[in-house]
Amino acid sequence: MKKIKNRAYFAMLIALGLTFGIAIFTVRLFTDGKDWVMLRANQSVFNEGVMDTGTVTDRNGVVLASAGNGVYSYAEDETIRKSCFHAVGDYSGNIGSGAVNAYDYKLAGYDFFNGVASISGSGGKVKLSIDSELNAVAYKALNGRKGAVLVSNYKTGEILCMVSTPSFDPNNPPDLTNPAYEGVFINRALGATYTPGSIFKLVTLSAAIENIPDLYTRTFTCTGSVQVGGDTVHCTGVHGQQTIEQALANSCNSAFSEISQELGADKIYEYAEKFGFCKSLTISSIETAAGSIDKADAGTSNLSWMGIGQYNDLISPIAMLRFVSAIANDGTAKGPVLLKGAYAGSTRLLETETAQKIQEFMSYNVAYAYGQWQFPNLNICAKTGTAEVGDGTSHAWFVGFLKDEENPLAFTVIIENGGGGLANAGPVANAVLQAAVAK
Amino acid sequence: MDSFIQSLNSFFAQPDLGGAYSPFLSYLVFFTRYMLPIAALAILLRCAYSMLRERYEPEVWGYLDLPDGSRVPLRHLECTVGRAKSSDVTLDGSWVAATQLVLIRDESGNWTAYDIAMSGGAEINGVLIPQEGARLEDGDLITIGKSELRFFNLTEEERGIISKRRTSPGKQISPGTMFRFVSVFQFLVMYQLLYFGDEQYRAQIALSFVSLCVIMWLYYIIMRAIGRRGFEVEALAFFLSTIGLSVAASSTPENMLKQVLLLLAGIILFLILGWWLRDLKRVKAMRFPAASVAVGLLAVNLLFGSELFGAKNWLSVAGVTFQPSEFVKIVYIYAGAATLDRLYRGKNLLLYIVFSAVCVGALAIMGDFGSALVFFATFLVISFMRSGNIATVVLAVSGAGLAGFLALSIRPHIAERFATWGHVWQDVNGEGFQQTRALSAAASGGLFGLGAGNGWLHKIVAADTDLVFGMVTEELGFIIGVCAIAAIIILAAFVVHNASQGRSAFYVIAGTAAGSMMMVQLALNVFGSLDLLPFTGVTFPFVSIGGSSLISCWALLAFIKATDTRKSASFIMKDPSKMHDYNEFSERTYIDEANEDESQDNEDTEANGEEKGRNLFDRRSEKRGRAK
């Protein structure tokens, strides 16, 4: 019997195998459970493949979208529905970067302990960092033009306003074959790239400050155009003798052509790459469109245009927002993030001294060139851009920040084919910033 | 009956009773999710503690006086004597074979000695032990070469006293409390089902759970009435059956009452088989006929079976559909286990191998590869238990591996399952359809579940059988799922724990085989649905829906119950003091005393017993001294 007893112990090997298997499964459940619940066939989360649980709100708790028991709904106010359309996304899944799709795993309300069970039965909550009222102001200010508006707090990295147009009311979808709705499902703030035009001079300037020792003592002469490699680089005016400060305020192509030729394509590219203009960024786990900068050959007019923000330069509005945020924040970019209270990582893009110098220059831009009267009561630092797109029209850019401890706001406005940057994008930025400061 | 159920249903259908209207009720039901694991863990821990921690006094059935003058008690109904360290009685001397003798005590208290050594040469009172064994009488002299042993049988008086010293299972943990915890568990599950489940079937749900509870307590009362106090094995089975009933309530609420009736049938078969196992003589006599019936059943299945879910393992008789392979499992273990004398002879193993090949082959032809695998694993356990030969096991495994490859090449759908294994997420709507849904549902349930009746996996094909672990985890939570697995492991561990106290090799082998069979089936079911093993489609013991499987699980439980030799624990084990030969003994005092201490959960009898025991041994040695 002793023998039989000893042999019986071998049966416990099976028990050991069972325990081992369960241990493996527990580990997998812990690491992969959040992906498993997102199976479209999971009827606790989806209803026929459509998100069926969870609520998206703005930073103040205003409900922007909610779903449950086979029914979903968007914000109550129509302008908020339109202005937050791209940030919130749609239940049909047309906008991949919208919260409903990008944060579906949060809306499922999954955690290892409770699975997708919640005491209210309404799933998880996603609190966006955007303020739906600011979005509504920006949407109205864009006034039917195509474009994007971004405003963030450069100290916390939270994006407070993110609007992309064209947009529509998800409760009353229009006829989307109308050309006015072309690309309506693209969030232009995150998912599009544009020719930057003169706002790119901030990048070239950063490189110049750190690489041209006598930059501040130099004089830049503008005769309305400059000959480079047999081509003519035209300027918007005849600016005469200028300091670097004045050249930026005049957005003088002649001056920046000279600087670009001196820096060379590699140096400009190096800075653009460091500032995140050549790659895709990850904003609260959303992948943005990747910008691209092509290096032009030395001694050609292309190199001049590369440093001026034309040539083959393409950047995304969100990358520009991050860059001006870094300038405003003495060289360190926070985030940006789209979720309220989310941890925003810090990245140093510029030396503190460089950043502070550019701050002065951008403040001078407003005082010397743009007109403080256009931005009442705002201590604003900015740069305009009027990017030629080749068909005779140009994108209107207006980027910058408020030098204001109470309202540390950075902004980027772009209007597609909107004409002059200051005249068209400037008022949109002013409207949103006035509303944000008034809060 | 139907109108009664309907009136009950209309009562339960009142919205206030369970609708999602009252926030208080929804909070309450949310809270019960956390209470379920507490109840389940209480059941498991109490059972495991009482089953595995208990050290009980070994039984003594006789004595051998060794050449060195020491006295060795014979602690089992079957004992080996030899030079090997693993022998029950170890002898020194090159003239002794590794395993020389097998001593077996039969029902009527008579001992028989078998000389199983190749060389033979053992004598009783100077007479060579013949091939068919020789009767051993009290005081007989056994001679093996130069060694002389003297055998002493137990007197009836001693047996009564030794029996009293045995530890009773009720001593450490009240057996009723275990069932009370199971009842709490049942109530909580029923409450969740009434809240979340289909409103149309509230009456069926309530009736089924109340019936299950009543059946359980009736069993308890009857067993207590005949003086039994060990219920852990049944408590675990009732715990698992409750989970099974919850699965039924979600997937097929209209058939719940049928499920309860099948459960009752299972319990009755458990009792009948248990009663049958009490007498080893008749058990041994029926092994061959039982195996023949099993082969016949499989043959009928092969000829007249119908195909369901891809395997032709169903038989329909008079409108009742069942799976013969489930019942063959019982016979397979019954016929596979053997007593110690046969074990060492080895010649019976060949017959068993043939029987196994027939069973596994028949199942493979039917296309039921899952069951074939379960049978094969059980075959390995039994043949290892019988032969102790790892080489045989390795040989069998490699042989089966070859056969497996052959099967894979003939049956493309099995090969596909192997190909899908580990890649289910690459084909969520094709080959990985069932597994990905099981995983998704399981993750959705978290540790505490969404609530019984609140899942969706039951809408998927075979959710309540092959994917049942996913369903349990979704609705009752991962903790309950793991508890269900742990319950089966505890049953198997209990058998192994009991092996050292086993009376006969038959019980130990059968119990170990039953426990192993359940564990293998469990592993294939659970890990198949979770993509840790290829999907084979076998049932989760007690939990998966299906009458044949449920009944056969309860029957297999009888083999596990039969290994429990604690005092007054198992109805299958006879009390040594009440065994056939003892009843003929006229002195009633010991029986009365034994009954007395059963009725009071006392601790002092053990102390008394020990004292008496010591007196007894003293007396014995005195007597022996005089005899010399």
Cβ A117–B445 below 8 Å, yes or no? yes
Report the alpha-carbon distance of residue B586 to residue B589 in Å, rounded: 9
- Can you tell me the distance from the alpha carbon of B311 to that of B358, in angstroms, rounded to the nearest whole number? 17
**pLDDT in the model for residue B105:** 85
Confidence label for B2 from pLDDT (cuts 50, 70 and 90): low
Q: Do A119 and B26 touch (CB under 8 A)?
A: yes
- B:74-113 residues touching chain A, CB 8 A cutoff: 75-76, 78-80, 86-88
Residue of A nearest to B525 (CA): A18
Q: Is B403 exposed, middle or buried (0-12, 13-18, 19+ CB in 10 A)?
A: middle
pLDDT value at residue B345 = 63
Non-local CB neighbours of B489 within 8 Å, separated by 6+ positions: A15, A18, A19, B519
pLDDT digits (tens, 9 = 90+) for A178-203: 888 988 999 999 999 999 999 999 99
> Chain B interface, mutation test: which of A25, A27, A119, most B Cβ atoms within 10 Å?
A25
Calpha distance A301→B119 (Å, rounded): 108
Residues of A in contact with B519 (CB under 8 A): 11, 14-15, 18
Q: What is the mean pLDDT of residues A248-263?
A: 94
Tell me which chain B residues have a C-beta less than 8 angstroms from the C-beta of A29.
442-443, 478
**Helix H or strand E segment including A68:** strand A63-68
Note the residue count of chain B.
628
Distance CA B237, CA B244 (A): 10
Q: How far is A39 from chain B (nearest CA, A)?
A: 6
CA–CA gap between residue A39 and residue B184 (Å, rounded): 35
CA B388 to chain centre: 21
Residue B104 to residue A331: CA distance in whole angstroms: 91
What's the pLDDT score for residue B12?
58
Mean pLDDT value across residues B3-12: 64
Among the listed residues B535, B521, B144, the one whose alpha carbon sits nearest the alpha carbon of residue B310: B535
Instruction: Quickly tell me which residue has 């093996």 as its tokens.
Output: B144
Instruction: Check the CA dihedral B459-B463-B468-B473 and report its sign.
Output: negative
Contacts of A41 in chain B (CB under 8 A): 428-429, 436-437, 440
**pLDDT tens-digit map of A401-423:** 999 999 999 999 999 999 888 99
**CB–CB of B496 and A11 under 8 A?**
yes
Annotate B349-381 with DSSP letters as a single string.
HHHHHHHHHHHHHHHHHHT-HHHHHHHHHHHHH
In this predicted structure, what is the pLDDT of residue B1? 58
Measure A122 CA to nearest chain B CA, in Å: 13
Please write the tens of the pLDDT for every residue from B156-214: 777 777 777 777 777 667 888 889 999 999 999 999 999 988 888 999 999 999 999 99
CA-based nearest residue in chain B for residue A39: B440
Q: Show me where the domains of chain A are located.
A: 49-128, 150-438
Q: Which amino acid is at A340?
A: K
The Cα–Cα gap between B85 and A6 comes to 12
Q: Give the model confidence (pLDDT) of B473-504 as tens digits.
A: 999 999 999 999 999 999 999 999 988 888 88
Q: Which residue of A has its CA nearest to B381?
A: A11
For the stretch B120-129, pLDDT in tens is 788 999 888 8
Q: State in words which class domain A150-438 has.
A: alpha beta
* Whole-number pLDDT of residue B247: 95
pLDDT at residue B615 in the model: 41
List the single residue in B with minimal CA-CA distance to A105.
B444
Q: Does B450 touch chain A (CB under 8 A)?
A: yes
Q: For an interface test with A, which of B22, B103, B444, B457 has the most A Cβ atoms less than 10 Å from its Cβ?
A: B444
- In this structure, what are the phi and psi dihedrals at residue B529, rounded to the nearest 5 degrees? -75, -20
Cis check: omega of the bond before A174, within 30 degrees of 0? no
Assign domain A49-128 one CATH number from 2.40.128, 2.30.140, 3.90.1310, 2.40.30.
Answer: 3.90.1310
Token pair for residue A304? 């001049």
Choose the closest CB to B86 out of A2, A14, A43: A2
pLDDT score, position B76:
85
B609 min Cα distance to partner chain A (Å): 26
Closest residue in chain B to residue A31, using alpha carbons only: B443
Q: Scanning every residue of chain A, which has its alpha carbon at the shortest distance from the alpha carbon of B103?
A: A1
Q: How close A278 comes to chain B (CA, Å)?
A: 33
Over 90: is that where the pLDDT of A397 sits?
Answer: yes
SS3 content of chain A, % helix, strand, coil (to 5): 40, 20, 40
Q: What is the rounded distance in angstroms from the CA atom of residue A183 to the CA atom of residue A21?
A: 50
Put simply, the answer to whether A115 touches B443 (Cβ < 8 Å) is yes
Instruction: Name the pLDDT band for B602 (thresholds 50, 70, 90).
Output: very low
State how far residue A20 is from chain B, nearest Cα, in angstroms: 11
Count of A-B CB contacts under 8 Å = 162
C-beta separation of B36 from B189 below 8 A = yes
pLDDT tens digits, one per residue of A93-120: 899 899 999 998 889 888 899 898 877 7
Burial class, B186, CB count within 10 angstroms (exposed 0-12 / middle 13-18 / buried 19+): buried
Phi-psi region of A51 (alpha: psi -120 to 50; beta: other; left: phi over 0): beta
For B158, list phi and psi in degrees, rounded to 5.
-60, -40
pLDDT score recorded for residue B537: 81
Asked if the Cβ–Cβ distance from B75 to A41 is below 8 Å, we say no
Query: Residue B184 corresponds to which tokens in the numbers above?
Result: 């709490």
Q: How far apart are CA B165 and CA B171, in angstroms?
A: 12
A364-368, B57-61, B391-395: range with highest mean pLDDT: A364-368
pTM: predicted TM-score of the whole model, two decimal places: 0.82
Name the amino acid, one letter, at B180: R
Distance, in Å, from the CA atom of A198 to the CA atom of B172, rounded to the nearest integer, reads: 86
